Amino acid sequence: MIEGLIKLLAFQVAGEAIVFLLAVPIPGAVVGMALLFLYLVVRGREDPGLDTFTTAFLRHLSLLFVPAAVGIVAHLDRIADEWAAIAVALLASTITAIAATAATLRWLKR
Partner 1 sequence: MSSVVSVFQYLGGLPVTWLLTTLIAYRLALAVHQRCGNSAWLHPVAVATLLLVALLLLTGVDYATYFEGGRYIHMLLGPATVALAVPLYHQLARLRRDWAVLLAGALIGSALAVMVAMILAGWLGASRPTLVAMAAKSVTMPIALGLTEKLDGVVSLTSALVMLTGILGGALTQPLLGLMRIREAHVIGFTLGVVAHGIGTARALQGGQEMGAFAGLAMGLAGLLTALLLPICLRLAGFA
| Residue 4 and residue 54 in contact, taking contact as beta carbons nearer than 8 Å | yes
Q: Quick check: 101 binds partner 1 (CB under 8 A)?
A: yes
Binders of partner 1: how many residues, by CB under 8 A?
Answer: 72
Among 21, 63, 77, 80, binds partner 1 (CB under 8 A): 63
Q: Quick check: 17 binds partner 1 (CB under 8 A)?
A: no
| Residue 28 and residue 19 in contact, taking contact as beta carbons nearer than 8 Å | yes
| Closest distance of CB 2 from partner 1, Å | 13
| Closest distance of CB 12 from partner 1, Å | 5
DSSP 45: S
Q: Quick check: 18 binds partner 1 (CB under 8 A)?
A: no
Helix ranges restricted to H, 1-110? 2-22, 28-43, 48-59, 61-70, 76-109
